[in-house]
Structure 1
Amino acid sequence: MQEHPHSSTATSVTPPTGTGRARRRTGRLAGAAAAIAAVVGLSTLASPGAHAADNPYERGPAPTQSSIEALRGPYAVSQTSVSSLLVTGFGGGTIYYPTSTADGTFGAVVISPGFTAYESSIAWLGPRLASQGFVVFTIDTLTTLDQPDSRGRQLLSALDYLTERSSVRGRIDSTRLGVMGHSMGGGGTLEAAKTRPSLQAAIPLTPWNTDKTWPEVRTPTLIIGADGDTIAPVATHAEPFYSTLPSSLDKAYLELNGATHFTPNSNDTTIAKYSISWLKRFIDNDTRYEQFLCPLPRPSLTIEEYRGNCPHTS
């Protein structure tokens, strides 16, 4: 649902009564002054600054279908590498962030790769999400064989590094954080959300985990599965993960059409557009993005199925 600036109706002004020409002229001037004041008031209410004051976390121009599908958003992006030798609790990675500081601080997201995979497998999400107004940290794990519970702990360690010790910590609002991950990193995303309920958004991508039930999660969660996934089939992973999240939680299940377990390892417009919308809606509380999530997207060439609860509450 698109948010619109407030509006008001200017009240017509009746000039003061009187018999003299001077008093009629004074009345006309007063009426004109009142009309100008009303117009100025309307334009002030409709200004971006006034709207931003309603939600201080809103970042970037009003979104469109084409803007959330674009390879790059409105922000120029810089990046910095983090050596595994300089951190503990995870394997280092790359931080992508909006170059300009003109809009203040941003929410942040850490993304984990999957089993036997490296940061490079999810690196495409870094600049694509950062250019929409987030600080994004794509990480390596301590070993490529780490299980979901370990990857969950590593996601949280990376968030702590990002907000407390990284060179871009001053650009981040540490109260607005999210996690993402692919495969076992997706399972780790659920583990991180369960452990740290203060997280604002979680997006598991074709997730894998031996734990099938997630009633403890309190973080708004978008689970993305793939209809052709034979490694973490949706029937035994993504679907039960989604269905066991609390019914009162802001949650959604997106099943990609014509996709495999490894679809999240390549630049994918459907994953990007709904991830951007979810992160904006729940990390930035930007209701301008609600229109892309509610009413629920319908099946299409790229969407096999979409479930969720609308309208969103948080």
Structure 2
Amino acid sequence: MQASPQPVTPAPRSGPVRHRRRSRGPLLGALASAAALAGLATTLTGGANAAPNPFERGPAPTEASVTAPRGPFAVSETRVSRAAASGFGGGTVYFPTSTEEGTFGAVAIAPGFTARQSSIAWLGPRLASQGFVVFTIDTNTTSDRPASRGDQLLAALDFLTRTSSVRDRVDGDRLAVMGHSMGGGGALEAAKDRPSLQAAIPLTAWNLDKSWPEVRTPTLLIGADGDTIAPVRSHSEPFFESLPSSLDRAYLELNNAGHFAPNTPNTTIARNSISWLKRFVDDDTRYERFLCPAPSASVAEFRGDCPNTG
């Protein structure tokens, strides 16, 4: 069991579950622009085939495919020893075995306070099988704070793209970060420090810094309604609200879940993480319809700018 920094008991929550669907936002604005361009292209070419998205990987998604334990890609893995790593504590790289579709976007994932990569290992093959290179890392020490974990996530991405044995499979322009607890706080730190990142997904994130107006990376925050270690009212919710309103951002609150929900296979976390990474790392608009889940047995609340999927 992962130890936890400064447990806090959340204030009682009241009122109805919220599911915010704003009529306009950066993602929807992009959709409108894309639609206008598509219409212009059709007018000019008479419906000729538009140029395909060069970053799409895998078949068209379905609800079954984004919730399945494994995606369409066979996965291999390779260990990176602590001795071979520079700036982080080593880890495991999971990657699609085939190279027929070209290079892939990549994501580095950090564990939480006192934890090792084994606590987030399930995400490695789950995400890699959907068409990503995934690096689950160990930190230099298990007590490293969020700012250090952010630096280590970036060091891991640099290793992955410059030194690793799979660097020729990675598109260095399409990178993302994830993390649990202090690792989630580290994902925010990494996004702040490297605006070129394409996506960030903090999972039940913990950080003493509550304000992130500097972030320019599309960010999905996943909290848990029963989290007493990083209560959503003092962590994930203020993190989300502090992000620029012009940013593609979302907040999903797991229903009947606690701080350690990201440490075991979780379909809701996987479904939404896959869709967020596909949309913003792969520019794959086929996944937009999965970005805004309604409240359900697994989702207590969702806030974000939702595309109009008809």
Q: TM-score, normalised by structure 1?
A: 0.83
Which residue number corresponds to residue 249 of structure 1?
Answer: 247
1:105-159: per-residue Cα shift (whole Å, max 9, x none)? Answer: 0000000000000000000000000000000000000000000000000000000
- Structure with the largest fraction of helix: 1
Answering whether residue 58 of structure 2 is matched by residue 60 of structure 1, we say yes
Q: How does 1:223-234 map to 2 (within 5 A)?
A: 223-234=221-232
Task: Give 1:309 shift.
Answer: 1.3
Q: Secondary structure at the match of 2:168?
A: helix
The one-letter code matched in structure 1 to 2:134 is: V
Structure 2 runs not aligned, ≥5 long: 1-27, 40-45
Residue 194 (structure 1) aligns with = 192
Q: What CA distance in whole angstroms lies between the structure 1 residues aligned with 2:300 and 2:159?
A: 37
Q: Which runs of 4+ in 1 moved over 6 A?
A: 1-4
Cα distance in 2 for partners of 1:82, 1:227 equals 35
CA distance, structure 2, for counterparts of residue 298 and residue 62 of structure 1: 22
Shift of 1:88: 1.3
Q: In structure 1, what residue type is equivalent to 2:288?
A: E
Q: Distance in 1 between matches of 2:286 and 2:96?
A: 20
How far, CA to CA, are the matches of 1:216 and 1:96 in structure 2? 31
Shift in Å at residue 87 of structure 1?
Answer: 1.3
Distance, in Å, in 2 between the alignment partners of 1:140 and 1:252 is 27
1:193-272 alignment runs, 5 A limit: 193-272=191-270
Aligned residue-pair number: 269
Q: Distance in 1 between matches of 2:139 and 2:290?
A: 32
Task: Select the structure with the greater relative contact order (CA < 8 A; seq sep ≥ 6).
Answer: 2
1:26 alignment partner in structure 2:
none
Equivalent in the alignment of 2:285: 287
- Is residue 107 of structure 1 aligned with residue 105 of structure 2? yes
Distance 2:86 2:78 in 1: 18
Matches within 5 A, 1:16-95: 53-95=51-93
Cα separation, 2, equivalents of 1:112 and 1:213: 21
Q: Distance in 1 between matches of 2:299 and 2:108?
A: 25
Correspondence 1:307 to 2:303: yes
Structure of larger gyration radius: 1
What is the DSSP-based 3-state SS (H/G/I as helix, E as strand, rest coil) of the residue aligned with 1:175?
strand
Offset of 1:298 from its aligned partner? 1.2
- Check the 8 A contact 2:289/2:307 in 1, yes or no: no
Give the letter for the 1:302 counterpart: S
Q: Which amino acid aligns with 1:55?
A: N
Any gaps of 5 or more consecutive residues in structure 1? 8-40
Question: Which secondary structure does the structure 2 equivalent of 1:81 belong to?
Answer: strand
Aligned residue identity for 1:206: T
Matches for 1:138-177 after TM superposition, within 5 Å: 138-177=136-175
Residue identity matched to 1:101? T
Distance 1:182 1:303 in 2: 18
